[in-house]
Amino acid sequence: VVNQYSSYQMNNKRINGKQTLGENIADNGGLKAAYRAFIDWAAQNKEELPLPAVNLTHKQLFFLSFAQVWCSASTEEATNLQVEKDTHATPKFRVIGSLSNSPEFAENFNCRAGSKMNPKKKCVVW
């Protein structure tokens, strides 16, 4: 996980994977636990109908909702400060890091094996 997140850059500044390790593990593990809970809930309830005019499955919508939580805007100065000081990776890499480690994400979005969002080597937590 440290190496994965340390490979990410914002504004030509590298994310400090050691500094963000605990929160990166929490993000990855939280996504995994939430997806399991969603799948368990779906199995115990009747099948959901597709949403009108939305060309995504409910599983795809789950991952989209995860990503939208981190949707934000910040100044370059604020982003640089976050990269330097925060124990959290920037929102962009909280999403990319967690989703690229999720085999379920790759399967549901048909990500090509070895692509950025479906790397052959994934960091698995819990």
State pLDDT tens for residues 84-101: 999 999 999 999 999 999
pTM of the entire predicted model: 0.92
The whole-number pLDDT of residue 49 equals 87
Domain-embedded: residue 125: no
- Under-50 pLDDT residues of the chain: none
Domain-embedded: residue 41: yes
Tokens 């994400």 found at: 105
Domain-embedded: residue 118: no
The whole-number pLDDT of residue 46 equals 85
> How many structural domains compose the chain?
1
Domain-embedded: residue 94: yes
Domain-embedded: residue 21: yes
The whole-number pLDDT of residue 50 equals 86
The whole-number pLDDT of residue 55 equals 95
Residue 67's domain comprises: 2-45+56-108
Domain-embedded: residue 50: no
HSE-CB at 107 with a 13 A cutoff on CA atoms is 4
